[in-house]
């Protein structure tokens, strides 16, 4: 693995947008295209040549059930309804008690969308998004578990405030007005040089946030002094829970809950076990599904079933090491996941407790079935739509909702036919 200093990596993060650009994959050979067709993992060729069709790296899994689970197909008829259109690179959504949705727009901030698809003006008081990096901005939004009483929401975003450092990450809370047109009582819970992607609230009320380490050579994911490449856990006032795993470490960021992630863009709690699950994007192949436990190290970049963006092996291709967690499941080539939700509805019985994950460059919605914490089946959905999927959420109506990533993005609803 190439070695550079933390100072150089931090300078690249604060500085030029070019530091975050990805190498475009080389065009696939005919043999690579044929392998892609046989494996049937990526977007359909009718949507254009799949972005990762030239990636033929296939490392051997430690366990036989860590990849390539048997394919299944949903037998219950279902339909895809378009709820809303015209959303410019939306990132996250949360359902309000009246049926409206809060939707984050990456380059703008926060809007509401009604059940019949009316998109509001920008909500007043939304943090101004200023970042030179195209893929940064307003990321996630969730409601407090007691929203009905306190009107509190939580935001994860990246911006630059007057006099502040570029590309500063924020986790913040605010109160949404009764008419849903403004935010007040804005409070920063955590800020710094980190890339917050998603937030969820645990049963005990604490906030879990995931952050990314996307700067080669990925020196932050293994550093307890950095919030990058971690699962973080804080209280709703920004304080540190007394039982966080690294509170006794004098040099650690006390908010760290778990270590060693590259770019996590989706997480959810299993509806029966309460375990926290997340999906993680590795640079080029090796995207992972993980069940998170406090204090554990999930390995990146010391171990990976993928490669770096330039095609070079990560840490000489090492895929296992004592003290580092194996992924429950991984994908080659990359699907580039964003958004994760467990299905808790009843209209489509075979989906019960399945994990649904959106694919960006993979242009698909992936469903996996779990038994005793292991993946036993996988299904590819929505590939005929040729859309990048940014977020997946369960709606209060028991239906699954999908947010697409485009200049003219959509909210889709999957309902029994």
The 10s digit of each residue's pLDDT in 106-145 is: 999 999 999 999 999 999 999 999 988 888 999 999 999 9
Q: How, if at all, do strands 138-143 and 196-201 pair?
A: unpaired
More confident residue, 207 or 23: 207
Q: Looking at the predicted structure, is the pLDDT value of residue 76 above 90?
A: yes
pLDDT band (50, 70, 90) for residue 23: low
Residue 137 structure tokens = 């901005």
Mean pLDDT, range 307-323, rounded to an integer: 97
36 membership: H or E segment, kind and range: helix 30-39
Round to whole Å and give the CA distance between 324 and 328.
13
Architecture of domain 90-335: 6 Propeller (2.120)
Residue 301 structure tokens = 């970049």
Mean pLDDT, range 389-417, rounded to an integer: 97
Q: Looking at the predicted structure, is the pLDDT value of residue 64 above 80?
A: yes
**Residue 200: its pLDDT value, please?**
98
Question: Does the N-terminal peptide bond of residue 217 adopt cis geometry, omega within 30 degrees of 0?
Answer: yes
Q: Looking at the predicted structure, is the pLDDT value of residue 1 above 60?
A: no
**Residue 19: its pLDDT value, please?**
43
Q: Where are the beta strands (DSSP E) in 293-408?
A: 329-331, 337-342, 355-359, 364-371, 374-381, 389-394, 400-404
pLDDT band (50, 70, 90) for residue 26: confident
Round to whole Å and give the CA distance between 315 and 300.
10
More confident residue, 233 or 131: 233
Q: How many angstroms separate the Cα of 173 from the Cα of each of 7, 183, 394? A: 31, 10, 22
**Residue 22: its pLDDT value, please?**
56
Q: Looking at the predicted structure, is the pLDDT value of residue 27 above 80?
A: yes
Mean pLDDT, range 17-24, rounded to an integer: 52
What does the DSSP assignment read for 303-325?
A: S-SSB-TTSPBGGGG----TTSP
State the CB neighbour count (10 A cutoff) for residue 173. 20
Calculate the CA 384 to chain-centre distance: 23
**Residue 2: its pLDDT value, please?**
35
SS3 349: helix
The 10s digit of each residue's pLDDT in 147-204 is: 999 999 999 999 998 888 889 999 999 999 999 999 999 999 999 999 999 999 999 9
CA 332, 269, 349, 366: dihedral to nearest 10 degrees?
-20
**Residue 229: its pLDDT value, please?**
98
Dihedral pair phi/psi, residue 199, rounded to 5°: -130, 140
Mean pLDDT for the chain overall: 94
Q: How many angstroms separate the Cα of 166 from the Cα of each of 5, 192, 193? A: 20, 10, 9
Mean pLDDT, range 66-93, rounded to an integer: 98
Q: Is-contact 314 307, C-beta < 8 A?
A: yes
The domains of the chain are located at 90-335
More confident residue, 175 or 15: 175
Calculate the CA 380 to chain-centre distance: 18
Mean pLDDT, range 382-406, rounded to an integer: 98
**Residue 164: its pLDDT value, please?**
84
Question: Does the N-terminal peptide bond of residue 301 adopt cis geometry, omega within 30 degrees of 0?
Answer: yes
Q: Looking at the predicted structure, is the pLDDT value of residue 271 above 50?
A: yes
Buried-state track 244-278, b at ≥16 Cβ within 10 A, e below 16 = bbbeeeeebbbbbbbbbbbbbbbbbbeeeeeebbb
């Amino acid at each position: 693995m190439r070695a550079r200093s933390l100072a150089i990596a931090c300078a690249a993060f604060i500085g030029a947008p070019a530091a975050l650009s990805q190498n475009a994959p080389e065009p696939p050979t005919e043999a690579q295209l044929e392998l892609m067709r046989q494996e049937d993992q990526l977007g359909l060729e009718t949507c254009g040549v799949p972005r990762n069709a030239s990636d033929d790296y296939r490392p051997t899994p430690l366990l036989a059930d860590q990849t390539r689970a048997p394919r299944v197909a949903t037998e219950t008829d279902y339909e895809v309804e378009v709820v809303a259109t015209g959303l410019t690179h939306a990132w996250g959504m949360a359902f309000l008690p009246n049926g409206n949705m809060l939707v984050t727009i990456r380059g703008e901030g926060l809007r509401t969308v009604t059940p019949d698809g009316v998109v509001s003006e920008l909500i007043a008081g939304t943090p101004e998004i200023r970042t030179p990096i195209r893929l940064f901005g307003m990321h996630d939004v969730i409601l407090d578990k007691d929203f009905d009483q306190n009107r509190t929401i939580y935001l994860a975003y990246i911006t630059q405030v007057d006099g502040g450092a570029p590309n500063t990450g924020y986790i913040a809370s605010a109160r949404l007005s009764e008419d849903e047109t403004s935010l007040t009582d804005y409070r920063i819970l955590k800020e710094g040089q980190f890339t917050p992607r998603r937030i969820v609230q645990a049963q005990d009320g604490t906030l879990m946030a995931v952050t990314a380490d996307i700067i080669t050579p990925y020196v932050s994911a293994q550093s307890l002094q950095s919030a990058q490449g971690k699962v973080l856990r804080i209280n709703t006032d920004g304080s540190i829970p007394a039982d966080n795993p690294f509170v006794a470490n004098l040099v650690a960021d006390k908010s760290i809950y778990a270590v060693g992630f590259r770019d996590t863009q989706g997480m959810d709690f299993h509806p029966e076990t309460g375990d926290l699950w997340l999906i993680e994007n590795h640079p080029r192949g090796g995207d992972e599904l993980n069940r998170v436990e406090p204090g554990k190290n999930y390995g990146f970049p010391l171990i990976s079933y993928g490669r770096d963006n330039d095609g070079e092996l990560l840490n000489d291709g090492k895929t296992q090491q004592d003290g580092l967690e194996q992924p429950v499941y991984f994908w080659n080539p990359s699907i580039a996941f964003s958004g994760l939700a467990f299905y808790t509805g009843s209209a489509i019985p075979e989906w019960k407790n399945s994990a649904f994950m959106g694919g960006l460059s993979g242009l698909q919605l992936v469903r996996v079935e779990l038994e005793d914490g292991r993946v036993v089946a996988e299904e590819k959905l929505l590939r005929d739509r040729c859309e990048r999927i940014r977020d997946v959420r369960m709606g209060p109506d028991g239906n699954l909702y999908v947010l697409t990533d485009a200049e003219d993005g959509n909210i889709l609803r999957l309902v029994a036919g």
